[in-house]
Structure 1
Amino acid sequence: MKILLIMDPGIPVPPKLYGGHERLVYLFAEEYTRLGHEVTLLAGPDSHCSGKVITFGANDLNRSKMQQYKEVLFVWKYLIKNHQKFDLVHNFGRLIYYFPILNKSVKKLMTYGRPVSRRGIRIINALPNKNLVFTACSNNCVATGNVAGQWHTIYNAIDFDQYRLNEGVAPDAPLMFLGRLDKIKGVHNAITVAKATGNKLLIAGNISHTEDNYLYFKTEIEPCIDDDRIVYLGALNDEEKNNYLGQAKALLFPIEWDEPFGIVMIEAMACGTPVIAFNRGSVPEVVEDGVNGFRVNNVDEMISKIDSIQLIDRFACRQAVIQRFDVSIVASQYLSLKTT
């Protein structure tokens, strides 16, 4: 089968540091190739995979509207000219990319990893279309856009072979927070929990450059960093992430929004590290109480669960998720979807 994968420019595929969706696209490109399919990747500059790569646009998350308009035109021209060469187009980028081939017979998957614009879904489905399937990374995320069309929940994935299981850590092993340092991710809650329980906290992730979140970091997070009990590691590459997650006794996931998935949860579990998470968004679909972590409702409940972490078997923690979220499993789910 000939497969075209599409990802927005802004961050290369795969990313060097931050870029969860770009990492997913790379994993699926490699897995589709491993399964014997002929893969073409359409993505931002400096992207690469084992298949054919066509780059476009600019690697700048703050690029102008005019630049984004040019990128849409590029994809439209490419699809108009080349869509008949493919058996499947799998789009992780903008829905508008599909506009010129909506009613063409090629099978089209539209995958979401963030809350969905219902207006866009209604508009697209009001137009003549064929063989278009929508997916999102959790039941919670599907619910944000399932107002028209054919929808399926297909979870995000990682390559578990790239994560080392650490079956035992010391009682004084650190807690960890890993994620973008935006207020909705709740790193301030993680700091509160670490201080209240006398634990060291490792913080890793990129500092947002949006005005509100940069101010949040400078005023609420940076003053707490002492390089002793509260340590900021910066943004981590894959090897560093593997190393630090494996050393931690628990990953804290104290989100203040409805996280569509949270890949970091399964990255931690792949290392055997359980997750204590606020019970919202996709968390109920990922965290099994007492098996791979604990679901809690607030900071006080998170504090109360820290001592229970030692009861979780780290080998069982990994095994509980590998059959659900490994890239080999998830890629097969995508390829088995039927259009209507």
Structure 2
Amino acid sequence: MSELMVSDESKTTAEARRSPLRIGMVAPPWFALPPRGYGGTEAVVASLVDGLVDRGHEVVLVASGPHRTKATEYHRVYDVPPTERLGEPVPEVVTAAEAARVLAEADVDLVHDHTLAGPLLARGRRQPTVVTAHGPVVGEDGLSLEKLGSSVDVVAISDAQRRLNPNLNWVGTVHNAIDVSSFPYRAAKDDYVLWLGRFSPQKAPDLAIEAARAAGRRIILAGKLNEAPERRYYEERVAPLLGPDAEYVGEADASLKRELLSGAQALVFPIQWEEPFGMVMIEAMACGTPVVALRRGSVPEVVADGVTGLIVDDEAQLPDAIARAQELDPTDSRRRAAADFDIPVMAERYERVYRMLVEGTRSIRDLTGDDAAVEIAA
């Protein structure tokens, strides 16, 4: 009679996979976690913290503002987030300094840093440092991550983002996520389509208005309009197009955003740049609202063309897509959001990244599919 022999090393690895991790999480200083309105990165970090704690891990969080997450330990940098100073270097430096102090004493297994300045400290610590590339990875943004080399392991938020700069020390792709259950599902829609975002040429609200008007649909616009370039773009390109069939309702808080998304016949997403990930797309799908978008950036990874939305290659094709969007089954959008872009899914995929690095088995993996990670490069 033979026995299955399990080595001590295999037992140790199995035990490590089952044991909780202690994770140092560093958030940008600009908005509280979760943010009340604008703050996409902060929303993702807050969701990830809660998802990891729900999976049994300990999270030591360094952030600003009131403590509103499930973090095991919370270390506040600023009592009031310095939102009005967004982009200034000093709040980033102060956050990095506080994170260095806290994490030196926290006995964490690894650090996940979502800030700009914080990853500069990675080379001096013994634990792995994971950095999620929330923004562009080309130009100076990409150069800063390139210069960090192997001192950090970089996670992409889409495969499209990763392809833009193969020189980074990529460890995998993990799509962003939302709390799908917090978004109301509606099968019966109202008589408008929606544009939701930041007023800029990259987001092209003016194109959304023109496409909706050509399709004979009323459009509602809601978005961030408090920085000088945004106000200038709005006044020059958007305001002249407004009218009875095109209405701007202001910046949408969490409640208004859900109301608008759930009632819309479609979300119009005429993106003009290689955006690494558009959160509003998965928010719309969670509400059962299809996405009509241009084929740029992460769009083909997020939207199932002909199922949860319609993807077109040219702006001239947008009106026809808007007209056809209401033919799609809203349950398909909700189902895809729950299956691929819910918080537990994101937390599980990040945990796989963490385990891989803590155990020293690093390889670049695609973690956006099912439980069997597909190795795509060594």
Q: Is 1:97 matched with 2:118? A: yes
Which secondary structure does the structure 2 equivalent of 1:336 belong to? Answer: helix
Write the mapping of 1:122-141 to structure 2, written as runs, cut at 5 A. Answer: 122-125=146-149, 129=151, 132-141=152-161
Q: Evaluate the alpha carbon distance shift between residue 319 and residue 276 of structure 1 in structure 2; reply closer, same or farther with a 3 A threshold.
A: same
Amino acid at match of 2:118: Y
Which secondary structure does the structure 1 equivalent of 2:212 belong to? Answer: helix
The offset of 1:179, in angstroms, is: 0.6
The offset of 1:286, in angstroms, is: 1.1
Higher mean C-alpha displacement, 149-158 vs 249-258: 149-158
Instruction: Give the RMSD, CA atoms, in angstroms.
Output: 1.9
* 2:288 corresponding residue in structure 1: 272
Q: Distance in 1 between matches of 2:89 and 2:185?
A: 44
Contact 2:156 2:170 in 1 (8 A): no
Contact 2:25 2:62 in 1 (8 A): yes
Which secondary structure does the structure 1 equivalent of 2:199 belong to? Answer: coil
The offset of 1:333, in angstroms, is: 0.5
**Partner of residue 256 from structure 1, selected from 244, 257, 272:** 272
Q: 1:204-235 CA deviation, whole Å, 9 max, x = no partner? A: 11114133x32110122123333x32111211
Q: Distance in 1 between matches of 2:281 and 2:343?
A: 15
Q: Evaluate the alpha carbon distance shift between residue 180 and residue 47 of structure 1 in structure 2; reply closer, same or farther with a 3 A threshold.
A: farther
Which secondary structure does the structure 1 equivalent of 2:105 belong to? Answer: helix
Amino acid at match of 1:71: T
Q: Distance in 2 between matches of 1:30 and 1:210?
A: 35
Amino acid at match of 1:282: S
Contact 1:154 1:333 in 2 (8 A): yes
* 2:100 corresponding residue in structure 1: 76
* 2:11 corresponding residue in structure 1: none
* 2:207 corresponding residue in structure 1: 189
TM superposition score normalised by structure 2? 0.82
Which has more radius of gyration?
2
Q: Distance in 2 between matches of 1:100 and 1:253?
A: 38
Which secondary structure does the structure 2 equivalent of 1:176 belong to? Answer: strand
Q: Is 1:235 matched with 2:255? A: no
Q: Distance in 2 between matches of 1:190 and 1:13?
A: 31
The offset of 1:76, in angstroms, is: 2.9
* 1:220 corresponding residue in structure 2: 237
Q: Distance in 1 between matches of 2:207 and 2:259?
A: 23
Structure 2 unaligned runs (5+)? 1-20, 363-378
Write the mapping of 1:148-227 to structure 2, written as runs, cut at 5 A. Answer: 148-169=168-189, 173-211=191-229, 213-226=230-243
Contact 2:136 2:142 in 1 (8 A): no
Q: Distance in 2 between matches of 1:309 and 1:262?
A: 19
Q: Distance in 1 between matches of 2:214 and 2:124?
A: 58
Structure 1 unaligned runs (5+)? none
Q: Distance in 2 between matches of 1:136 and 1:329?
A: 15
Higher mean C-alpha displacement, 267-276 vs 46-55: 46-55
The offset of 1:70, in angstroms, is: 3.2
Contact 2:77 2:98 in 1 (8 A): yes
Q: Distance in 1 between matches of 2:326 and 2:198?
A: 27
The offset of 1:270, in angstroms, is: 0.5
Q: 1:135-173 CA deviation, whole Å, 9 max, x = no partner? A: 011011122343142431110101111112112225xx2
Q: 1:113-140 CA deviation, whole Å, 9 max, x = no partner? A: 21123322332116xx4xx421011011
* 2:9 corresponding residue in structure 1: none
* 1:14 corresponding residue in structure 2: 34
Amino acid at match of 1:125: G
TM superposition score normalised by structure 1? 0.90
The offset of 1:12, in angstroms, is: 1.4
Amino acid at match of 2:319: I
Q: Is 1:328 matched with 2:328? A: no
Contact 2:212 2:322 in 1 (8 A): no
Amino acid at match of 2:143: R
Aligned identity (percent) is 28
Contact 1:142 1:151 in 2 (8 A): no
Higher mean C-alpha displacement, 278-287 vs 110-119: 110-119
What is the aligned residue count?
A: 329
Amino acid at match of 1:184: Q
Q: Is 1:107 matched with 2:131? A: no
The offset of 1:61, in angstroms, is: 4.8
Q: Distance in 1 between matches of 2:301 and 2:183?
A: 21
